[in-house]
Amino acid sequence: MSSFQKIETTNAPAAIGPYSQGFIANGTLYASGQIPINPATGEMVVGGITEQTEQVMKNVDAILKEAGLTPDRVVKTTCYLTSMDHFAAFNDIYSDYFAPHNHFPARSCIAVKELPKGALVEVEILGLV
């Protein structure tokens, strides 16, 4: 018998379209990509790639916590940047998030033309329950 659980928290931005924040299915967390929306205001954070990446990782953390997981359970991330010129600054914040757990998941980092709401960065995760 398979297990299936919807993940939904007010500590991460509500879906801005026809999707869910995430699901746990058969022991794997599948989380939608997180952009730098402050869940308390529903607005994009002010600032550049550093501030946006910090908010994205807070949103990722909120999804993990709602699923009962910690960053060391993330096995894969897919990261989207609107410019590879932002890669070093993004990498600094991303690394700081996973470093305390001495765990760096497998990752793809892709440059894209644009992201929802004019975001500079989006991160999606897969984790093990």
Catalytic residue among 75, 89, 109, 115: 109
Q: What is the tens place of the pLDDT at every residue in 29-76?
A: 999 999 999 999 999 999 999 999 999 999 999 999 999 999 999 999
Residues spanned by the domain of 102: 4-128
Mean pLDDT of 104-123: 97
* CATH number of the domain that residue 118 is part of: 3.30.1330.40
How many structural domains comprise the chain? Answer: 1
110 contact partners, CB below 8 Å, separation of at least 6: 78, 79, 80, 81
pLDDT band per the 50, 70, 90 thresholds, residue 129: very high
Q: What is the pTM of this model?
A: 0.95
pLDDT tens-digit map of 1-40:
568 999 999 999 998 889 999 999 999 999 999 999 999 9
The answer to whether residues 111 and 81 touch, using CB atoms and an 8 Å cutoff, is yes
To the query of whether residue 109 is one of the catalytic residues in this protein, the response is: yes
